[in-house]
């Protein structure tokens, strides 16, 4: 049985963005300290954590000193270089474990893993050359989306192909990066399940949220999602199977497309997730505390939804609306302390209370 952290023990968090910040705040409420490791300056998590290391992911000395100062390591994003994980792992356990990172860092291995569990995904094919793309477009059909296998998020690194003649241009847009072609899924809406698995193997899922994107970036998450009983069960079972298969410890985000033929898994994120921010005001124990509890070896908390919520991201200049939003007591406002409101940058979010859960 792995170590159970005691008050005063230290959780290391790789990444100092808004997710790291909200994890550190949740840990502080539980009497746990956080040491954040972040290469960039001005990290949102920096102002709320006990300790901050500002160093690169190839700085072995900084990595070793960080690992020696913490009791467990977790992360707020999945694209941590493997070489850094190799160094850290020699000194300290990493939760969720390496398998979750390996699977989710590459869209191809992610889809193969999901299909291996019997979960449906979009049809896909690996594309490492233009002739492979032509073959894939012929077999999968159009419309389709060409995506980089690694390092894509918020719709970045993706090109839609509506007819075969666009293949060469789409391939050029990948700039030599290994890619995957996905058939276009004809979905009615998108939902996500935020699931958690404790060190004791217990699994608990938050109610699915319904997601709306704008320009490839999450705009709103609404709970409850429009799902019938069977779909709801399928969504939760899919998440539980993923958690068990990865022997996962922590919180995961599972994005699903809802289609007339059933649910299709779009992707998994081995961390707390933007579409789980509603839990801060919709549940007694939110996704951030649930994650901290899991990685600290504590039992999972009560994540039942007590309120219906619409979470809206505040991007760039949206943050100027905060004084107005604050006038409505139905709004719970969460800001990330970012100085510069660049276009499209996630500055905060607002959780609007829309009623007590039925």
Binding footprint of ligand AMP on the chain (CB under 6 A): 122, 145, 152, 155, 182, 184-185, 190, 213, 216, 255, 266-267
Q: Name which of 188 and 228 has its Cβ closer to ligand AMP.
A: 188
Closer residue to ligand AMP in complex, CB, 84/252: 252
Residues 315-349, buried b or exposed e (16+ Cβ, 10 A)? beebbeeeeebeeeeebbbbebebeeeeeebbbbb
Radius of gyration of the chain (CA): 20
CB of 124 to ligand AMP, least distance (A): 8
The burial class, CB within 10 Å (0-12 / 13-18 / 19+), for 6 is exposed
Residue closer to ligand AMP by CB (options 152, 270) is 152
Burial of 113 (0-12, 13-18, 19+ CB in 10 A): buried
Q: Specify the residue, 152 or 198, whose C-beta has the smaller distance to ligand AMP.
A: 152
Q: How far is the CB of 50 from ligand AMP (least distance, A)?
A: 33
Report in angstroms how near the CB of residue 242 gets to ligand AMP at its nearest: 16
Please say whether the beta carbons of 149 and 88 come within 8 A.
Answer: no
Q: How far is the CB of 160 from ligand AMP (least distance, A)?
A: 9
Q: Is the CB of 15 or the CB of 183 nearer to ligand AMP?
A: 183
Distances (CA, A) of 224 to 22, 115, 193, 232, 354: 23, 27, 11, 10, 10
Which pair of structure tokens corresponds to residue 322? 């905060």
We find the least distance from the C-beta atom of residue 141 to ligand AMP, in angstroms, to be 12
The least distance separating ligand AMP from the CB of residue 257, rounded to whole angstroms, comes to: 7
Residue 37 or residue 113: which is nearer to ligand AMP going by CB? 113
What count of Cα atoms within 13 Å lies in the side-chain half-sphere of residue 317?
Answer: 1
């Amino acid at each position: 049985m792995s170590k159970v952290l005691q008050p005063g023990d230290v959780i290391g968090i790789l990444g100092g963005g808004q997710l790291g910040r909200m994890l550190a705040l949740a840990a502080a409420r539980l009497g746990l300290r956080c040491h954040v490791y972040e290469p960039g300056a001005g990290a949102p998590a920096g102002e709320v954590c006990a300790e901050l290391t500002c160093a690169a992911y190839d700085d072995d000395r900084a990595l070793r000193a960080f690992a020696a100062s913490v009791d467990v390591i977790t992360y707020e994003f999945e694209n941590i270089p493997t070489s850094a994980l190799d160094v850290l792992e020699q000194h300290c356990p990493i939760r969720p474990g390496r398998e979750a990172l390996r699977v989710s860092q590459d869209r191809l291995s992610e889809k193969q893993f999901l299909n291996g569990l019997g979960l449906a995904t979009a049809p896909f094919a690996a594309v490492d050359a233009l002739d492979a793309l032509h073959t894939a477009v012929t077999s999968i059909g159009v419309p389709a989306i060409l995506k980089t296998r690694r390092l894509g998020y918020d719709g970045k690194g993706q090109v839609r192909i509506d007819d075969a003649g666009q293949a060469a241009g789409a391939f050029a847009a990948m700039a030599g990066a290994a890619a995957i072609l996905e058939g276009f899924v004809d979905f009615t809406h998108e939902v996500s399940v935020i699931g958690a698995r404790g060190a004791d193997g217990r699994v608990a899922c938050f109610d699915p949220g319904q997601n709306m994107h704008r320009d490839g970036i999450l705009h709103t998450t609404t709970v409850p999602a429009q799902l019938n009983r069977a779909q709801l069960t399928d969504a939760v079972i899919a998440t539980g199977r993923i958690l068990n298969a990865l022997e996962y410890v922590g919180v995961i985000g599972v994005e699903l497309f809802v289609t007339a033929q059933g649910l299709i898994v779009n992707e998994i994120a081995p961390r707390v997730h933007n579409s789980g921010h509603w839990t801060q005001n919709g549940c007694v124990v939110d996704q951030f505390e649930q994650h901290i509890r899991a990685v600290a070896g504590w039992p999972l908390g009560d994540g039942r939804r007590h309120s219906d919520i619409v979470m809206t991201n505040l991007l760039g200049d949206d943050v100027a609306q905060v004084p107005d939003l604050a006038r409505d007591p139905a709004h719970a406002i969460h800001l990330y302390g970012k100085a510069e409101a660049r276009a499209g940058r996630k500055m905060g979010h607002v959780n609007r209370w829309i009623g007590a859960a039925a």
